[in-house]
Structures are given as C-alpha cells and as structure tokens.
Amino acid sequence: MKKRSVKLVIVGSLALDSVETPFERKKDQLGGSVSYACAAASFFARTGMVAVAGQDFPSAYTDLYKRFGIDMTGLTLVKGRTFRWSGVYEANMIDRRTLSTELNVFASFSPELPDSYRGASFVLLGNIAPALQLHVLEQVKKPKFVVADTMDLWINTAKKSLMEVITKVNMLMLNDSEIRLLTGEYNLRRCAARILDWGPEYVVVKKGEHGALLFSKKGVFIVPAYPVDEVCDPTGAGDSFAGGFMGALAGSSRISENTVRESLLRGSVVASFTVEDFSLKSLAKVSRSDIKKRIAELKKMTSTA
C-alpha cells in the first residue's frame, strides 16, 4: 500500500526539556521546536516531522505524536541520548535562564526527507543551522510556500549561509532584536523593508506576549496575542505559533495576503493554548471547535464594530 503523502513538512529539534517556573518543576518533558510546531499544525493539515531522537526517547511521546495524527516517517531514532535542555523562568514568565544544553544525538543531525515528504507543498524550516536548512531545500521538489525561523546565533556565526536561505524562502520569522542584528537597522519597518528586498514576500517579527507583526509589500498587519487567564509554561509558544500558522495556510484553498493574515491569527490562537500547561498537555486536550471559538473571540477583541 502506497504511503499517504504529507502536505506540510516541519524540520527542527526534538528535545526532552526540564522546566522550572516560579510555581512548578517538570523533568524530561516532551519538547523541541518540531514537537510544538507539528502538534499545532496537525489541527489544520497532514503534517510530517523531520527530527532525530535517541534510544532513550519515551514511547509514550511517540504515542502522543500519533494521537495528534503527526506522520513520523521522518523521525529517526539512533543510538545515544536525546537532545536535552533545562531552564528556569523568572517571575514575569517571560525572561528565562538556560541551565544546561546537551545536544547529544542532535549534534550530528542531518535531515533526510523520506520520499513521501519531498513533494510537500509547504515547508517549515525550524531554528536549526542555515546549512541544514539549505540541505532540506535541496531535497524538496517544488514547494508552494517555505518559512524559515532563525536566531542571533546563526546571524553571528553563519550569516553567509543564512543569507542564502533568505533568498530561497517565502517568509522569514525572527524576533525584534534578531531582525535589528541581521539588518543593521533599528526601525522595524526599515528592517523588514531590507529583508523584503532580499527576496522573501513576507517577514514576521515575533514579539512574545505582545503577538507579532507581519510585513509585506502590501503593508503591515498586527497579529495580536490571545490574552489567556494564566500562563503555566511559555516554552514552545513561538514554535506553536509558527506551526499553527503553517498548518492553517496549508489547509487553506489558496495563498494570498488575506489567507496569510488569517493563518497567522490561527497560529496565535493555537499558541495561546500551548502556554496554559507544560509541554503538549494543553494542546492534547484542545479540539478544533475550541480553536474556532477562540479565533472568533480574538477577532471580536480587535473589532470596532
């Protein structure tokens, strides 16, 4: 029987996170950019993950991926220990300190796409080395929409490769300090204008609890964050936002300025569920109707009618 192809491919890190907040501690929780992004995307489109884990990766977590309907053909289990990260959040639940980072099997990660992934129309390149992002792009055939996430580490250490990635993607995602570092500008509109001149059609500046800004040749769109009653764990919110956005866009009938904006709102809403519990616990309890209801609420909050 021929394996069903995926519509969206997400490449990134898979980790076991130990998280401490002012209220609680959790050890070896399921984490990593690919976990959050794939779970968020799965509400809208058939999604395949490309990641690596060690032999110590709990079967309960692969069972959870199955519950989300995530295709795991691109998940490779190899000898060794899974990537681990630990950190502590400050009282404001925004600032955090990294206590330890153990790359383990992720240190030699070289993403290889299964045949069933190479024809995917949508690709999300998580925050990995630009050389690896380019390696993924060499394997996909003719994607309709590609998004790349990045960070200050790659801007400082691999800018040449990152610039090549930027010329090949439809959208670049980064936060306000990163876009300033990348462009040498301070004003966010000028920063975005420079990147748009380099090739991408869209630039998204992530602003954490304050949402995000979308820049394109057609103007600026403000993406509000849904205000939750209580933040339990902010880990993975940005990855859920990106994954939810790409899943929603992949599930739409066409790509346009309007569908990009609508999909970003959906990504924002999915991310709001993520922060209400540790790891993927909150997302595992969410239904599509829950998401639809919160989208309507978010739109009502921003309407003057």
Q: Encode pLDDT of 28-50 as tens digits.
A: 999 999 999 999 999 999 999 99
- Tell whether 229 is covered by a domain: yes
Distance, in Å, from the CA atom of 33 to the CA atom of 135, rounded to the nearest integer, reads 18
The range of the structural domain enclosing residue 261 comes to 8-301
- Tell whether 142 is covered by a domain: yes
- How many structural domains compose the chain? 1
- Tell whether 25 is covered by a domain: yes
State mean pLDDT over 85-90.
95
pLDDT tops 70 at residue 2: no
Q: What is the CATH number of the domain that holds 143?
A: 3.40.1190.20
Confidence (pTM): 0.95
- Decide: 148 and 182 in contact? Cβ < 8 Å: no
State mean pLDDT over 180-187.
97
- Decide: 217 and 196 in contact? Cβ < 8 Å: yes
pLDDT tops 90 at residue 253: no
27 Cβ partners below 8 Å, 6+ apart?
Answer: 18
Q: Encode pLDDT of 208-242 as tens digits.
A: 889 999 999 999 999 999 999 999 999 999 999 99
State mean pLDDT over 282-296.
96
Q: What is the DSSP string of the chain?
A: -PPPPPSEEEE---EEEEEE-SS-EEEEEEESHHHHHHHHHTTTS-EEEEEEEETT--HHHHHHHHHHT-EEEEEEEESSPPPEEEEEE-TTSS-EEEEEEE-GGGGG------GGGTT-SEEEE-SS-HHHHHHHHTT-S--SEEEEE--HHHHHH-HHHHHHHHHH-SEEEEEHHHHHHHHS--SHHHHHHHHHHHS-SEEEEE-GGG-EEEEETTEEEEEPPP--S--S--TTHHHHHHHHHHHHHHTSSS--HHHHHHHHHHHHHHHHHHTTSSTTTTGGG--HHHHHHHHHHHHHHT---
**Residue 1: which pLDDT band, with cuts at 50, 70 and 90?**
very low
Q: What is the pLDDT of residue 305?
A: 74
pLDDT tops 80 at residue 298: yes
- Tell whether 219 is covered by a domain: yes
- Tell whether 2 is covered by a domain: no
Q: What is the pLDDT of residue 303?
A: 83
**Residue 171: which pLDDT band, with cuts at 50, 70 and 90?**
very high
Distance, in Å, from the CA atom of 49 to the CA atom of 132, rounded to the nearest integer, reads 15
125 Cβ partners below 8 Å, 6+ apart?
Answer: 11, 12, 133, 136, 137, 146, 147, 148, 149, 165, 169
- Tell whether 120 is covered by a domain: yes
Q: What is the pLDDT of residue 208?
A: 86
Mean pLDDT of the chain: 95
- Tell whether 118 is covered by a domain: yes
Q: Encode pLDDT of 107-121 as tens digits.
A: 999 999 999 999 999
**Percent with pLDDT over 70 in the chain:** 99
Q: What is the pLDDT of residue 153?
A: 93
- Tell whether 1 is covered by a domain: no
